[in-house]
Structure 1
Amino acid sequence: MKTNVRFAPDQSVQAFYLFFIIHTSQIGAGLMGIPRILVLESGVDAWIAVLIAGVYLHFIAFIMLQILKSYDNADILGIQCDLFGTWIGKALGMVYVIYIFQLLLTVLKNYIEVVQVFVFPEMPIWLMAFFLLTLMIYSILGGFRVVVGTSVVFFFLTIWLVFTIYKPVTHMDWEHFTPIMQTSAGDLLRGAQQVTFTVLGMEILLFVYPYIQDKKRVAVPTHAGVFFTTFLLLLVMVVSIGYFSPDQLTQLVWATLSLFKIISFSILERFDFIAVALWMMVIIPNIVLFGWMIVHSMQRLFNFSKKPTLYILACCLFISSVTAEKRVTVNELTTLTGKIGFWIVFVYPVFIYLIILLKKRIKKRNAP
């Protein structure tokens, strides 16, 4: 397998699209329930845990960019083969494929469960899964530019939801944030670690890099995407702590969606129903981007054809989503995905970067 790859101009995009790619891959199902998870770990200082996680996100983004800049035009699949050999590199590539499949299934299952709880309790799982996977197939068949276009379009179609939380902001009780800094450093770090599932997805940078035309400009949109993700997480966390009491937050599974319950208009009484429906536009980029990553990886690793791989992937996701029905199963899947994702996204790139530095030092020492 070639380490460096080239794509035609009509298959690549400008660097500023990385902002949309990274942000929409990070924001999805996890944002719906993050307030409860963080409050259980870090109490009312959970917003500090978000800031800690945000700083580390920028550090990992920097490490990823340094890894990619060490090669001419490579993705993580080619880099692993170069560092560890073809067979080990392909095996590590399959670890990425399995992890991304699990992440995609987790996003799919969590959203279907939200729809069943908030809007349509009797809606069959297979119907929602079929609809979402059909959209995934349609987008990926259009090529990489259509996949990126999906992220851009749905970003602008949903970003206005941020402004709808003005009503909860007016009812915030700032005493909920006191006493400040009473949480131990260990609890804050555990809370920051819990943010990992919510922001899983930034590893897509390691896959799309060869598709970027002006690579000298990738740093700004990459860090801008990470910053905006951190800002949204912090905003949701602060509003949730201020609006709900700490005891209420520990009981609300989807606190973010519960914020929409008090929002109403003269022609629309239950805005939370609309918010759940609109949230589909938030997770569609997740599904499309993660699905593209799997198809792209199988093409790079084993030269599999695009269409058969995509159809097989959709069938596997459909069967898995239908068979895993219980809430306990979804919770276990989410927890496992978060733990695996922490090591793959936030620890493994540092290891790869150290290997690259060591390889460069050895090469420099052995140079005549």
Structure 2
Amino acid sequence: MKLPATEHPRLTVSAFLVFVLIHAMQFGPEYVSMSIKPIRWAGQDVWISAILSGLSISAVIWLMYQILDRCGTDLIHIHRRLFGRWAGSGLNLVFIVYFLLLACFQLRLFIEVIQVWLFADLATWPLALVLLVLAYYIVSGGFRVVVGICMFSLIRYVTIFAMFFPAIYFHFNNLTPAFDHSPSEILQASKAMTFPYLGAESLLFCYTFIKSPEKSQKWAHWANALTTFSFLLILFFSLLLFKPEQLSFEVWPQLTKYKFIQFPFIDRFEYIGATAQILWVIPIICFCLWASSRIGKIMLGVRQTAVLPFLSLIVFAAVCLIPDRPGVERLQAWLDGFGFCLTYAYIPLVYLVVLVRVKARTAA
């Protein structure tokens, strides 16, 4: 069942860079509003849900490596191997749509933040065009360039650590009483946190571009651990500055928190926080375009750079067709549902199919 990797060594990246890629894919701009739904369910106990979600994603990462290490190739080829040419191509097409919609959501969410916090009269299409041209230029450079952008985006932690400055406004009594919610509420909050944790599935499509990929699993787990820790910080900051009932009325509580930060030389720090979201969104858009164009390349047997312009145009058109906040929320709800099924149903299913086929071949 094992297939050899065919990527040229100069196109691959070191195993430790999986840490950068996974963390960049998980930690997207949706974090600005991620605390609302989980806190509605679990209140001050939402940190338990964040830990449970992180542990469950670690289990899914282990399953993905079991699949990839046994097959020795990426999910694109595994689909054809397990389900045949036509069914496998159909499943690959589903993932093309998924990555394109994810790129649309991330781009439209960033543009909405800019429109609300900075330029109310800004049209959607000019900023979408500029960012997609930038993403096209990056993706054209290949997978190594995409990973390089993911590494560059780590400077965004400067804005997160800035949240320690308004410590004088923290109300630690907002964290009590602890363990005040039922297990079902904790699990509902964990389910609501599925979407912020999405991104680990990127491993399934770049496995053959990793040098010694079987040694990269620990870095994927460390990336998920850093994401979990970052989300815990964000949730604690939200609870320390706002009561749970106040967060129900905040659309972007993470950006609202920047209003508490004051410097003598910066009057409106939230402007910096809003524009800094580009460091979250660009790596995800680039990888989504890279992954979808690579799937298209393998399915159609053409060059990846020939598919990329058409996919970029599709994303541009789709972003311009999302008019307002309700449209963004509907797209997020769809991606949330698909991501939940992908993470907790489809990946375990593929693992079971691979396990059965490997055992059947061994018995034969």
CA distance in 2, matches of 1:169, 1:292: 41
CA distance in 2, matches of 1:261, 1:346: 37
Instruction: Report the equivalent of 1:312.
Output: 310
1:20-64, Cα deviation, whole Å (9 max, x unpaired): 100001111221101112112222211111011011011011111
Whether contact under 8 Å (2:20, 2:150) holds in the other structure is yes
Structure 1 residue 135, shift from structure 2 partner? 1.1
Structure 1 residue 313, shift from structure 2 partner? 1.1
CA distance in 2, matches of 1:308, 1:7: 19
Q: Does 1:189 align with 2:174?
A: no
Equivalent residues in 2 for 1:234-253, closer than 5 Å:
234-253=232-251
Instruction: Report the equivalent of 1:356.
Output: 354
Whether contact under 8 Å (1:139, 1:288) holds in the other structure is yes
Whether contact under 8 Å (1:169, 1:239) holds in the other structure is no
Change (3 A) 1:347 1:78: same
Whether contact under 8 Å (1:295, 1:310) holds in the other structure is yes
Q: Normalising by structure 2, report the TM-score.
A: 0.97
Instruction: Report the equivalent of 2:150.
Output: 151
Specify the SS of the correspondent of 1:251. Answer: coil
Structure 1 residue 215, shift from structure 2 partner? 2.1
Unaligned 5+ runs, structure 1 = none
- One-letter amino acid matched to 1:113: E
Aligned residues: 363
Whether contact under 8 Å (1:3, 1:81) holds in the other structure is no
Structure 1 residue 211, shift from structure 2 partner? 0.5
Runs of 4+ in structure 1 deviating by more than 6 angstroms, as ranges, are: none
Instruction: Report the equivalent of 2:44.
Output: 44
Unaligned 5+ runs, structure 2 = none
Structure 1 residue 164, shift from structure 2 partner? 0.2
CA distance in 2, matches of 1:304, 1:258: 47
1:214-261, Cα deviation, whole Å (9 max, x unpaired): 223211111111111111111100110111111211111111111111
Specify the SS of the correspondent of 1:90. Answer: helix
- One-letter amino acid matched to 1:229: T
Instruction: Report the equivalent of 1:70.
Output: 70
Structure 1 residue 281, shift from structure 2 partner? 1.3
1:208 corresponds, among 202, 206, 209, to 206
Specify the SS of the correspondent of 1:85. Answer: helix
Instruction: Report the equivalent of 1:225.
Output: 223
CA distance in 2, matches of 1:169, 1:283: 28
Instruction: Report the equivalent of 1:19.
Output: 19
Structure 1 residue 3, shift from structure 2 partner? 5.4
- One-letter amino acid matched to 1:349: I
Q: Normalising by structure 1, report the TM-score.
A: 0.96
Instruction: Report the equivalent of 2:8.
Output: 8
Whether contact under 8 Å (2:101, 2:315) holds in the other structure is no
Q: Does 1:256 align with 2:251?
A: no
Whether contact under 8 Å (1:15, 1:212) holds in the other structure is yes
Instruction: Report the equivalent of 1:276.
Output: 274
Q: Does 1:98 align with 2:97?
A: yes
1:59-81, Cα deviation, whole Å (9 max, x unpaired): 01111111111023x00011111
Q: Quote the sequence identity (%).
A: 28
- One-letter amino acid matched to 1:18: V
Whether contact under 8 Å (2:63, 2:351) holds in the other structure is yes
Instruction: Report the equivalent of 1:168.
Output: 166
CA distance in 2, matches of 1:169, 1:188: 27
Structure 1 residue 171, shift from structure 2 partner? 2.1
Specify the SS of the correspondent of 2:122. Answer: coil
CA distance in 1, matches of 2:307, 2:281: 22
- One-letter amino acid matched to 1:15: A
CA distance in 2, matches of 1:100, 1:44: 34
- One-letter amino acid matched to 1:330: V
Structure 1 residue 4, shift from structure 2 partner? 4.2
Structure 1 residue 99, shift from structure 2 partner? 1.1
Whether contact under 8 Å (2:44, 2:174) holds in the other structure is yes
Instruction: Report the equivalent of 1:28.
Output: 28
1:73-127, Cα deviation, whole Å (9 max, x unpaired): x000111111111111111111111111111111111111111111111111001
CA distance in 2, matches of 1:138, 1:28: 21
- One-letter amino acid matched to 2:39: V
CA distance in 1, matches of 2:214, 2:334: 36
